[in-house]
Chain A
């Protein structure tokens, strides 16, 4: 399968990754060859096969809803590039 430039730009948009034209072209080539490789799967008839969604066949356990960690707000905010001591700060979203 060939993945064209338009599709690459669409995927980049969905992935929230900005892409210059030059890089987009290279990615189109790479992804085309990868999808060609992936399409080997079409040789297999999987009509009656159930998808394997989890390898660990366990049921989720219940636990008490308790707060166990200390107050880490300050430390967590410190990892962010911009904060005002109480919140993460992002560029203005509302006009």
Chain B
């Protein structure tokens, strides 16, 4: 039977297979950034039975624009780079749980159990925790309520919305100043507010912001409230020396006060440092046998894409060696 113009699209059915709760995997990789994706490629090439559990692919790299320190490319678009990572991973036909969050990781007698918020529990003999970091919130009144309506955490994503507007940037480190640079590029008027006295950002970056003459710098001030009905209109700051409060009229607030490790699912299982990072040794081993860590969620210094990718590779090879030594593979 032929019906002109009639077609059936099945493209959505081509998505990756989902992991199966009844299978015990050799390795489950938790996370989807460069560390996790690199681990997946190495593990797949070792023919390990593996699956990935992640909310999305790309991690924090998706929040940046250009990468200028990935070997072999003087400059590469961040999205293009992680898209190519993702394509590489998908060429191995690895089952992926894409979307649900990990709620709990438990160690049982013969396997780790990983529970997700879609009420599934996956089993594996080894785990690689590569869940990365997320932006630290200010935790002040009005912040949660006005997210996406003036409160932002990603200059690459949101700076263009503040063209020629007034914006407060909370923070004093490199990421705060990089955000200020992005905002100044679109003609925004910037007020940097830093909790401590002075500024932590590199001198060169500070100079770049200061020389525009369009940025005001307010150190030793604490953001205490964000106000606005439909969108941000005011940020209330307090001088930490004399306790004086000041209202800053603004169209937006970019929060750049550091990152928090995504450790919630393992914080009762594995040893963490004071910053909440998972403690790993040079073979990516954690305090729990069979549980490996890689990338920004761990104590490895210098949070860089190339370092995360290297750590992911190491973690996969360490997990493989662990299974070989235990005669589990």
A and B pair up: no
- Listed in ascending order, the chain A residues whose CB lies under 8 Å from chain B are none
- Listed in ascending order, the chain B residues whose CB lies under 8 Å from chain A are none
